[in-house]
Amino acid sequence: MPSFGDLARAAYCPRQLYYARRDDRTPPPEATARKRLAHRYPALRTAGDETLRSLPIDLAPDAYRGALDRLAERDEWASLIDPAETEAFLAGRDCRGVADKILDGEPPIPALVSPGSPPDRGVWRPQAVRAVAAAKVLSWEREREIPRALVEYPASAVVREVRLTTRRKAAYREALRTVRSLDGPPPRLRNSGKCGPCEYRETCGVRTRSLKSLLGL
């Protein structure tokens, strides 16, 4: 049964999923450290500059505390800092995975913690697919509709909502089909901005063209 991570990688690049399944790498220590920030919001809100500068955050201390203050104004704040469950393993009909938090409420809300930085608006497509997967599996387990999930970016003190819209559910189904049909390495992406930050770029052997070559210079 595919994991939430499999679906997210399939949405990003099927070839990346192929290498990830083959290598089974563990997350880098910095990614783990950034995710742990999601369990320290109250203390970080009042932490001094020196403490914050020693942590893997994306903002200057004043800006980070300000972002946490804005986060504290949200309705979900109490549940974010004291969730009903943490590291909750979820298993449904089509996929399974871990929700970093389950927020208590009517209905409950799954929250996934990302070690990365958020886009200007919304969430990255692979994370949206992962969030939809978590909401659908939680809905299957609880036998009730779960219309949304949250994605936390604790290094930026940002939390974004993911509604289960028709478009997002279609992206989830597409990723599920990709995972199920994976048999051998898929074709490489060509001239994609996704290749630069990919951890498997050297293994994949993809070549990205420079701006100079794209302009014909």
119 contact partners, CB below 8 Å, separation of at least 6: none
Query: For residue 206, what pLDDT is reported?
Result: 52
Query: For residue 191, what pLDDT is reported?
Result: 60
Please enumerate, as own/partner, the contacts of 42-45 that have beta carbons within 8 Å and a separation of 24 or more: 42/81, 44/68, 44/157, 45/69, 45/72
- Which structure tokens are listed for 16? 């990346």
Query: For residue 80, what pLDDT is reported?
Result: 97
Q: Are 92 and 110 in contact (CB under 8 A)?
A: no
Q: Between the CA atoms of 121, 146, 104 and 5, what dihedral angle is there, to the nearest 10 degrees? A: -60
| Domains contained in the chain, CATH given | 4-184 (3.90.320.10), 187-217 (no CATH)
Total Cβ atoms within 10 A of residue 75: 8
Query: For residue 68, what pLDDT is reported?
Result: 98
Query: For residue 4, what pLDDT is reported?
Result: 96
Query: For residue 208, what pLDDT is reported?
Result: 47
- Which structure tokens are listed for 87? 């590291």
Query: For residue 214, what pLDDT is reported?
Result: 34
Q: Specify which residues 3 forms β-bridges with.
A: 96
105 contact partners, CB below 8 Å, separation of at least 6: 76, 79
Query: For residue 207, what pLDDT is reported?
Result: 53
Q: Are 79 and 108 in contact (CB under 8 A)?
A: no
The maximal CA–CA distance of the chain, rounded, in angstroms, is 59
Query: For residue 14, what pLDDT is reported?
Result: 85
pLDDT in tens, 146-187: 999 999 999 999 999 999 999 999 999 999 999 998 887 777
- The pLDDT averaged over each successive group of 10 residues in the chain (217 residues) is 93 86 82 97 97 97 98 97 97 96 95 96 96 98 96 98 97 95 77 78 62 37
